[in-house]
Amino acid sequence: MRGTYWILILVAALGWGSGGITTRAAFAEGVGIWTMVGLRVAIAALLVLAVLVARRSPLPTVAVLRYGLSQAVFNLTVPYVLFTYALDSASAGFVGLLTALIPLSTSLFANFMLEDESMTPRKFFALLVGFTGVAALMLSGDSGLQEGGRPLVAIGLGLTSVVSVGYAGAFAKKHAGSYDPIMLSGIQFGFAAIWLVAAMFVIEGAPTDLSVNGWWLILILAIAATFMPFLLFFWLLQHIPVTNASLVGYIVPFVALIGGIVLLDEQLQSGIVVGGVLVAAGMFLSDRESRRISSPVTYQSTPLN
């Protein structure tokens, strides 16, 4: 795989991995949860719309609008809101480890929704290993914060988000080939922006008292942690095998963990280490099994302009 692709994989992982760090920094600036999520998604929606206009993409069909509506609920609204609440109860590294369970959750739903992706014994074992890591996090009582952490709350919110995204991933795979991925992203961001911005005004009011730093952090969330990695990931899927593109998922939790420790003075506690190792092992075993049973796919690579 070319060095350019590795750079893009790292940049996408840095973007997604920085989301939790930026969210916790925004909390310190007094940015409300609904303001953060609503503005983040709305700005990302406008950026994706600009890309669609630049590409002169045709209007979506009714079926694609329905797919986008479903993804707006399960792939954006539920996880973005709940993960943000979770980050108010635990460190960025702690919550980042929970996001590593998304591929395992997706494979579980795929077993019931996709004929060609059944749950093999090895995948089931990987699932058990991953969730053993979550159990270790629960039993340890560690949250990665010096004080004020609520790890059980964070785990409950995080696992609900993981289940939601897992369903959304299997749903997207089920209908793959019947939609343009960037168009689907634009639709889901657009729908989610409508009700999330409305919720922001109802729950927290207009964002008139945000500090300059608060606005900068929201822009970083929208551009660097949402729009950019989405766009890079879709570009990578068009130029390299999906198994290579999925390497992004291995890097994201470590970006959140290391970044939280270095930038936010979060704690690397023993429960997080043990739980993190088990979650990473489960993700690795699941990915290795997926690579084993997948047919090799060849993509034509084109250089970046």
Tens-digit pLDDT profile for residues 262-276: 888 877 777 778 877
| Digit-coded pLDDT (tens) for 273-282 | 887 788 778 7
Confidence (pLDDT) at 120: 78
| Digit-coded pLDDT (tens) for 186-241 | 999 999 999 999 999 999 999 999 999 999 999 999 999 999 988 888 777 667 76
Packing angle of the helix pair 92-99, 248-264 (nearest 10 deg): 170
Banded model confidence at residue 142, pLDDT cuts 50, 70, 90: low
Give the count of beta carbons closer than 10 Å to the beta carbon of residue 162. 24
* pTM, full prediction: 0.85
Count of domains in the chain? 1
Give the residue among 120, 121, 106, 34 at the shortest CA–CA distance from 74: 106
Q: Is 84 within a domain? A: yes
Q: Is 304 within a domain? A: no
Tell me, what amino acid is at 304?
L
Mean pLDDT confidence for 149-174:
89
Q: Give the residue numbers spanning the domain of 153.
A: 3-293
Q: Is 300 within a domain? A: no
| Digit-coded pLDDT (tens) for 247-259 | 677 788 888 888 8
Quick one: DSSP state of residue 242? Answer: H
Of all residues in the chain, the percent with pLDDT exceeding 70 is 89
Q: Is 299 within a domain? A: no
Banded model confidence at residue 301, pLDDT cuts 50, 70, 90: very low
Average pLDDT, the chain: 84
Q: Is 305 within a domain? A: no
Q: Is 87 within a domain? A: yes
Confidence (pLDDT) at 304: 44
Confidence (pLDDT) at 143: 61
Q: How many residues does the chain have?
A: 305
Confidence (pLDDT) at 19: 93
Which range has the worst mean pLDDT, 36-45, 48-57, 280-289?
A: 280-289
Confidence (pLDDT) at 303: 38
Q: Is 150 within a domain? A: yes
Give the count of beta carbons closer than 10 Å to the beta carbon of residue 203. 12
Instruction: Report how far residue 163's alpha carbon sits from residue 171's, in angstroms, rounded to the nearest whole number.
Output: 12
Quick one: DSSP state of residue 227? Answer: I
Instruction: Report how far residue 53's alpha carbon sits from residue 102's, in angstroms, rounded to the nearest whole number.
Output: 31
Q: Is 102 within a domain? A: yes
Residue entry with tokens 């084993």: 292
Q: Tokens in use for 213?
A: 């730093």
